[in-house]
Amino acid sequence: MTFMQRLGAAAGLIEQRLSELLAECGPEKGERLADAMEHALLGGGKRFRPFLVVETARLFDVVPDKAMDAGAAFECVHCYSLAHDDLPAMDDDDLRRGRPTVHKAFDEWTAILAGDALLTLAFEIMSRQGTHPDAAVRSELTRLLAHAAGGRGMVLGQMLDLAADKRGEPAAPTIGHVQRLQALKTGALLAAACEAGAVLGGATGEIRAAVRRYGEHLGLAFQIADDLLDAEGDAETVGKATGKDHAAGKATLVSLLGIEAARARLEDAVRGAERELAPFGDKAATLIEAARFTASRGH
Ligand code: GRG
């Protein structure tokens, strides 16, 4: 199986599980809120964060089935963040995953509430007994997800990003500022997804930390690849508008470093990711491929 086939197969399984969890814990089918949550959650997306949970858990011999619900919780947070990010008050996008964004398919207030409900659904899923039999593990997973998603993680990253876009702050962003912003906005959830796999596998100390650092390198690679796509990709292949950052004069690692140096930093991040998983030998082959895929992805 190629890496893309493996990612696609995992996406199919996670999509199925997301659909079941939405039916079990979400609003009744037929409610406008249920339809909007379904639009935000199902029908597209690489399901990369659940894939990372499942694959990092596999390093510790956890079978995919036992990591699926924790992965689904991460995907709910991710999909809420996309629905809110696409709103006119934030990044203002009409297209996501090749389809109308939630507020275009419904309206703004529905998109806000669907996002809110997906965020809370994530924590309901994470704290259900089926996610892990040990309450201490569920509690640690819940803390990990909350920390990554919240005011010291993704929301802070989004705040810094919008402060730059809408208020021009800081006036002269440094590479350090952009890197911090991105590590929070995109990296925090990706790194926590990897760490969650290690937590599911009972890993502690330096081993858990190494898996997290793998996720941090991956997050950086993911963001630089996204910036390169914005600078060089076309909307049809990417499934959303491109050239927006460039047209807005936005500071990204690509605009601050130039395309060549950004590419070099991307390769560096991939090597860092590989280095962290070296002690796992062949067991880490899929995750190493995931890092390479992240760097080379075209959508
Ligand atoms: C609204 C609090 C709040 C946060 C939003 C994630 C995010 C923060 C905004 C998304 C904007 C964006 C384009 C970020 C760059 C990287 C990124 C997260 C891309 C989308 O993730 P993928 O490629 O998407 O995993 P799919 O569709 O495959 O799930």
- Residue minimizing CA distance to atom 20 of ligand 1: 82
Q: How far is CA 258 from the centre of its chain?
A: 25
Per-residue pLDDT tens digits for 144-153: 999 999 999 9
Residue 184 confidence (pLDDT) above 80: yes
Q: What is the pTM of this model?
A: 0.94
Q: Is the CB of 226 under 6 A from ligand 1?
A: yes
Q: Is the CB of 48 under 6 A from ligand 1?
A: yes
Best residue among 186, 223, 240, 252 to mutate for probing ligand 1's pocket (most ligand atoms within 8 Å of CB) is 186
Q: Return d(Cα 143, Cα 155) in angstroms, integer.
A: 15
Q: How far is the CA of 209 from the centre of ligand 1 (A)?
A: 24
Half-sphere exposure of residue 255: CA atoms within 13 angstroms, side-chain side: 17
Q: How far is the CA of 83 from the centre of ligand 1 (A)?
A: 9
Q: How far is the CA of 96 from the centre of ligand 1 (A)?
A: 10
Per-residue pLDDT tens digits for 106-142: 999 999 999 999 999 999 999 999 999 999 999 999 9
Residue 239 confidence (pLDDT) above 70: no
DSSP string, the chain: --HHHHHHHHHHHHHHHHHHHHHHHSSPTTSHHHHHHHHHHSS----HHHHHHHHHHHTTT--GGGTHHHHHHHHHHHHHHHHHHTSTTTT--SEETTEE-HHHHS-HHHHHHHHHHHHHHHHHHHHSGGG-S-HHHHHHHHHHHHHHHSTTTHHHHHHHHHHHHHH--SSS--HHHHHHHHIIIIIHHHHHHHHHHHHHTT--HHHHHHHHHHHHHHHHHHHHHHHHHHHH--HHHHTS--SHHHHTT---HHHHH-HHHHHHHHHHHHHHHHHHHGGGGGGGHHHHHHHHHHHH---
For residue 245, the model assigns a pLDDT of 76
Average pLDDT over residues 210-233: 93
Q: Is the CB of 45 under 6 A from ligand 1?
A: yes
Q: Is the CB of 154 under 6 A from ligand 1?
A: yes
Q: How far is the CA of 135 from the centre of ligand 1 (A)?
A: 30
Average pLDDT over residues 3-15: 96
Q: How far is the CA of 47 from the centre of ligand 1 (A)?
A: 11
Q: How far is the CA of 186 from the centre of ligand 1 (A)?
A: 7
Best residue among 4, 86, 108, 226 to mutate for probing ligand 1's pocket (most ligand atoms within 8 Å of CB) is 226
Q: Is the CB of 297 under 6 A from ligand 1?
A: no
Average pLDDT over residues 27-45: 96
Residue 240 pLDDT class (50, 70, 90 cuts): low
Average pLDDT over residues 73-92: 98
- Residue minimizing CA distance to atom 29 of ligand 1: 45
Average pLDDT over residues 25-53: 96
- Cα 181 to Cα 120, 186, 187, 219, 226, distances in angstroms: 24, 8, 9, 12, 14
Hey, what are 212's tokens?
Answer: 């997290």
Q: Is the CB of 95 under 6 A from ligand 1?
A: no
For residue 78, the model assigns a pLDDT of 98
Residue 163 pLDDT class (50, 70, 90 cuts): very high
Closest CA relative to residue 69, chosen from 50, 55, 56, 49: 50
Q: How far is the CA of 78 from the centre of ligand 1 (A)?
A: 7
Residue 24 pLDDT class (50, 70, 90 cuts): very high
Please identify, by atom number, the ligand 1 atom nearest to the C-alpha of residue 239: 27
CB burial readout 225-256, b (16+ within 10 A) else e? bbbbbbbebeeeebbbebeebeeeebbbbbbb
Q: Is the CB of 227 under 6 A from ligand 1?
A: no
- Residue minimizing CA distance to atom 19 of ligand 1: 226
- Cα 7 to Cα 25, 71, 161, 273, distances in angstroms: 26, 14, 29, 18
- Residue minimizing CA distance to atom 4 of ligand 1: 81
For residue 299, the model assigns a pLDDT of 44
